[in-house]
């Protein structure tokens, strides 16, 4: 069975074909001795146009499909995956899965595959899908890139970045009755503009509908910042109040999701999250919502379970974490729909986080800094102490000294070693505007933040 990629404009037809393939694989598995079986079919048409030095230097497209088969014999669970969907490929897939299942030990706490009650719809909703993105052409992306480059040219700087358009689908069928599918589209345009005098500036937009991205505006934002950050001054490391732009706030949300908002992290004792614990100021509320159109929605997880809206932090206090089927079984509750493809030793993740907007306009965020730093984005961040959420990283592409509520000078980049929990606790103001940004794992919708203290621990030469 083959899923045709030609008809990109009908997500319903694609999902139906993917579900039929998943059904077929489940039937083959059951006929081969499985007592439970689950087939996950993922498909993708992805294209990306990359530019540097104000010219396109990479331009790629791919059509891909993947099948994951979870094959259970009692409490023995095995997973096999393939990119081959021809008859021979599927036969080999089931044979490998069955052979593996015979070789593994029983899982004492195996909770079984999720049942139909928690499953998402078999016909995908229109949330998160735009035909304009699915049909985006190389010429469309080149047009966007030329608009970004034109803004760079106008400012006398060079542009480096990428414009990606993707259609992706997941379909899940299992022997417990789940038949769920979702199709979505995503697009992302990002650019770093660089000037000959050492200035760099970043801007990014992500959207379901690529035609809503204003490429020229992204180009102008980056260009202005590149010009403003020329000839930076050196500041000594130390504690400074900061305003973090949305691009930097994304890293905090992403990292906390990775380190703590997962049921597995809680069950293993390595998470900071516990219900009722205050981890942030009253201004901070974070939810995960795979159906919120403000983000890049995906309404089901990789087990076919409908994603629930989960409040992670409400007015600074931990509320809940996200579950997949296995962690939910251990906790004696239902999955929240945050499972990843099996086998998954990493546990569930929140992939659609949103931070509530505040009431403070951007100029007032900066205006409230007596002496501090405005940070555009972070670079190469990594946890130093996961349970305390101590993270190190660098500033990048637009760091500025603010005095008396005004930007007074660009600053050379600084290294920080900072607890992100302490940072949340120190939030003094939240921006009223939010941006949708792709993260390391998923996407997030975040406002800018003003934070009372941020610990910078090193400097560099640019």
Partner 1 sequence: MRDLTDRALDTASSLGASYADCRVVRRLEESVSIKSGRVEGVASGESEGFGVRVLVEGAWGFASSHRLSLDTADRVAGLAVRIARASATALRDRVTLDDRPPAVGRFETPVLEDPFAIPLEHKIGDLLAADRTAGAVGGIAFTESSYGAQREWKTFAATDGSFTEQAITHVGAAVEANAIEGDEHQRRSYPDAGGGWGAGGYELIRRLDLLGNAEHHAEEAVALLSAPQCPSGLATVVLDPSQLYNQVHESCGHPTELDRVFGTEASYAGTSFLTTDKLAEGFRYGSDLVTIVADATAPGGMGTFGWDDEGVAAQAVDLVRDGIFVGYQSSRETAPRVGRSSGGGMRADGWNRIPLIRMTNINLLPVEGMSLDDIVADTDDGLYLTTNRSWSIDDRRLNFQFATEIAYEIKGGKLGRILRNPTYTGITYEFWRACDAVGNASSYVMLGTPNCGKGEPNQSAHVGHGVSGARFRNVQVGVGKW
Residues 66-95 touching partner 1, rule: CB under 8 A, are: 66, 78-84, 89, 92-93
Separation of alpha carbons 329 and 340, rounded Å? 16
**Total chain residues near partner 1 (CB under 8 A):** 92
CB of 361 to partner 1, least distance (A): 29
Instruction: Pick out residues in 309-368 that bind partner 1 (CB under 8 A).
Output: 342-345
DSSP state at residue 107:
-
> Does the footprint of partner 1 cover residue 154 (CB under 8 A)?
no
CB of 251 to partner 1, least distance (A): 12
Separation of alpha carbons 202 and 222, rounded Å? 5
CB of 193 to partner 1, least distance (A): 9
Which stretch in 113-121, 295-303, 349-357, 382-390 sits in contact with partner 1 by CB under 8 A? 382-390
> Does the footprint of partner 1 cover residue 35 (CB under 8 A)?
no
CB 94 within 8 A of CB 82: no
Q: Select the residue interacting with partner 1 from 381, 399, 436, 443 (CB under 8 A).
A: 381
Phi/psi class of residue 380: alpha, beta or left (left: φ > 0; alpha: ψ in -120 to 50)? Answer: left
* Size of the chain, expressed as the number of residues it contains: 462
Q: Select the residue interacting with partner 1 from 121, 386, 407, 425 (CB under 8 A).
A: 386
Which residue's CB is nearer to partner 1, number 150 or number 409?
A: 150
Instruction: Pick out residues in 39-58 that bind partner 1 (CB under 8 A).
Output: 46-58
Beta strands at 371-385 and 238-244: parallel, antiparallel or unpaired: parallel
Which residue's CB is nearer to partner 1, number 54 or number 285?
A: 54
Which residue's CB is nearer to partner 1, number 309 or number 412?
A: 412
- Structure token pair of residue 165: 């358009």
Q: Site mask, partner 1, residues 206-225, x = CB under 8 A?
A: --------------------
CB of 92 to partner 1, least distance (A): 7
Residue 3 Cα distances to 15, 160, 175, 227, angstroms: 9, 36, 22, 49
Separation of alpha carbons 432 and 354, rounded Å? 13
Which positions ≥6 away from 91 have C-beta within 8 Å?
Answer: 28
Phi/psi class of residue 425: alpha, beta or left (left: φ > 0; alpha: ψ in -120 to 50)? Answer: alpha
Instruction: Pick out residues in 160-179 that bind partner 1 (CB under 8 A).
Output: 160-162, 164
CB 387 within 8 A of CB 371: no
Q: Select the residue interacting with partner 1 from 61, 116, 154, 233 (CB under 8 A).
A: 61
Q: Select the residue interacting with partner 1 from 194, 255, 273, 437 (CB under 8 A).
A: 194
336: nearest Cα among 348, 323, 321, 320: 323
> Does the footprint of partner 1 cover residue 146 (CB under 8 A)?
yes
CB of 395 to partner 1, least distance (A): 9
418: nearest Cα among 440, 379, 375, 389: 389
> Does the footprint of partner 1 cover residue 127 (CB under 8 A)?
no
Instruction: Pick out residues in 104-123 that bind partner 1 (CB under 8 A).
Output: 104-105, 107-108
Q: Site mask, partner 1, residues 269-298, x = CB under 8 A?
A: xx-x--------------------------
Instruction: Pick out residues in 406-425 that bind partner 1 (CB under 8 A).
Output: 413, 415, 417-418
Separation of alpha carbons 339 and 196, rounded Å? 46
- Structure token pair of residue 117: 């009650």
Which positions ≥6 away from 146 have C-beta within 8 Å?
Answer: none
């Amino acid at each position: 069975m083959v899923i045709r990629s030609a008809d990109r404009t009908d997500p319903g037809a694609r999902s139906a074909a993917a579900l039929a393939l998943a059904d077929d694989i489940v039937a083959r598995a059951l006929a081969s001795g499985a007592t439970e079986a689950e087939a996950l079919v993922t498909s993708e048409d992805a294209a990306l146009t990359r530019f540097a030095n104000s010219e396109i230097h990479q331009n790629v497209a791919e059509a891909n499909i993947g099948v994951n088969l979870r094959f259970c014999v009692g409490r023995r669970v095995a997973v096999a995956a393939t990119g081959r969907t021809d008859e021979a490929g599927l036969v080999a897939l089931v044979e490998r899965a069955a052979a593996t299942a015979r070789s593994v030990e029983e899982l004492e706490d195996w909770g079984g595959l999720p049942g139909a009650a928690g499953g998402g719809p078999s016909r995908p909703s229109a949330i998160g899908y735009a035909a304009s993105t699915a049909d985006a052409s190389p010429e469309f992306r080149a047009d966007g890139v030329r608009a970004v480059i034109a803004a760079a040219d106008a400012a006398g700087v060079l542009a480096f970045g990428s414009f990606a358009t993707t259609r992706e689908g997941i379909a899940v069928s299992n022997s417990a009755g789940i038949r769920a599918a979702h199709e979505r589209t995503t697009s992302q345009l990002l650019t770093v503009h660089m000037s000959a005098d050492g200035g760099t500036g970043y801007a990014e937009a992500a959207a379901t509908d690529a035609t809503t991205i204003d490429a020229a505006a992204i180009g102008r934002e980056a260009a202005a910042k590149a010009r403003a950050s020329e000839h930076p001054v050196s500041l000594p490391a130390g504690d400074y109040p900061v305003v973090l732009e949305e691009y930097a706030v994304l890293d905090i949300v992403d990292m906390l999701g990775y380190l703590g908002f997962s049921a597995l992290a809680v069950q293993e004792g390595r998470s900071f999250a516990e219900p009722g614990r205050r981890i942030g100021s009253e201004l901070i509320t974070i939810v995960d919502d795979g159906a919120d159109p403000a983000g890049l929605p995906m309404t089901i997880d990789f087990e076919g379970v409908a994603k629930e809206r989960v409040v992670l932090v409400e007015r600074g206090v931990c509320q809940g974490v996200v579950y997949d089927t296995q962690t939910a079984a251990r906790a004696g509750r239902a999955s929240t729909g945050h499972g990843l493809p099996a086998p998954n030793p990493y546990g569930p993740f929140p992939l659609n986080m949103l931070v509530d907007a505040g009431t403070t306009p951007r100029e007032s965020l900066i205006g409230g800094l007596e002496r501090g730093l405005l940070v555009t984005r972070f670079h190469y961040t990594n946890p130093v102490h996961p349970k305390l959420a101590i993270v190190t990283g660098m500033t990048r592409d637009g760091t500025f000294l603010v005095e008396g509520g005004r930007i007074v000078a660009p600053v050379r980049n600084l290294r920080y070693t900072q607890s992100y929990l302490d940072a949340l606790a120190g939030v003094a103001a939240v921006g009223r505007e939010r941006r949708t940004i792709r993260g390391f794992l998923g996407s997030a919708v975040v406002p800018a933040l003003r934070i009372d203290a941020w610990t910078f621990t090193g400097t560099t030469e640019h």
